[in-house]
Chains A and B, each alone.
Chain A
Amino acid sequence: LAKTTQPISMDSYEGQEVNITCSHNNIATNDYITWYQQFPSQGPRFIIQGYKTKVTNEVASLFIPADRKSSTLSLPRVSLSDTAVYYCLVGGDSGGYQKVTFGTGTKLQVIP
C-alpha cells in the first residue's frame, strides 16, 4: 500500500482558501487518491476522490499532477465549520479488496 505524508496541522483564517498537500511517492498505477474529513467525536466522511488531473465537487477540489506523486485538497473560502481532521488515502481495488487504512491526517483549525 502506498504510504502517504501530510502536514500534522494547519491554521487558516475564515474566508481563505486552504490547500492541504499529501505526498505519495510510491503510488501504484491502479491507485486512486481519496480524502476524508473527520469532525470531533464523529466518524470520517468521504469528501472527494480522483485518479489524475483535477476533480471538483460542491465541497472541495482535488488537484493531482501528472506524476501523481502528490495531491492537493483545496477547500475554497473556509468557515469555522471546516475545522476538522483531513485524511489522504491512496489505494484501490485491484482484483481483491484491499485493506483501507488511514494515516494520522492533517488537523485544520479555522480561525475567526
Chain B
Amino acid sequence: NAGVTQTPKFQVLKTGQSMTLQCAQDMNHEYMSWYRQDPGMGLRLIHYSVGAGITDQGEVPNGYNVSRSTTEDFPLRLLSAAPSQTSVYFCASSSIGGRAYNEQFFGPGTRLTVL
C-alpha cells in the first residue's frame, strides 16, 4: 500500500496562476481532507469530503476548490494563486464510522511558493 500520495512535492507559482495539487489514497477511505500549514503554525482545514461527490468547506476555503469524483482522488485547485497561499499543503484520509475521530493518515505534503 502506498498510503496517501501527493504530487508535486514542490511548486513555485506566479501570482494569478492556477494549479491543481493532487492527492490519492489506496486505503479505500471515505474521508479525505486538505490542510495548509504556514511556518510555525498549526494545520488549518481547507476542504474535506466524506465520499465521492460530497465535499464541504473547512476553516479557510477561500481561493480553493475541490471535487471528489472517485474514492481514491481528492485534488485541490488554486484558482488564482496569491502570495498569501504560500504554505505547505497536506492531504489526509481516514475511514468513517465509530464514535471517535478515526485515525487520519497524512501525505508527505506539497510545499507551495507563490511569488
**Is A102 a contact partner of B42 (Cβ separation < 8 A)?**
yes
Which of B13-21, B64-72, B74-82, B95-103 lines the interface with chain A? B95-103
A105 CA to B58 CA in the complex, in Å?
A: 19
Number of interface residues of B (CB under 8 A): 30
Chain A residue numbers with a CB within 8 Å of B90 are 43-44
Number of residue pairs across A and B with beta carbons under 8 Å? 73
Q: B43's contact among A49, A51, A93, A102, by CB below 8 Å, is which?
A: A102
A104 within 8 A of B: yes
A51 CA to B101 CA in the complex, in Å?
A: 11
Q: A98-110 CB contact bits vs B (8 Å, 1 = yes)? A: 1111111100000
Q: Which of A44, A89, A92, A94 has the most CB of B within 10 A?
A: A44
Chain A binding surface SS class: loop
A92 CA to B1 CA in the complex, in Å?
A: 27
Question: Which residue on B lies nearest to A30, using beta carbons?
Answer: B99
**Is B108 a contact partner of A43 (Cβ separation < 8 A)?**
yes
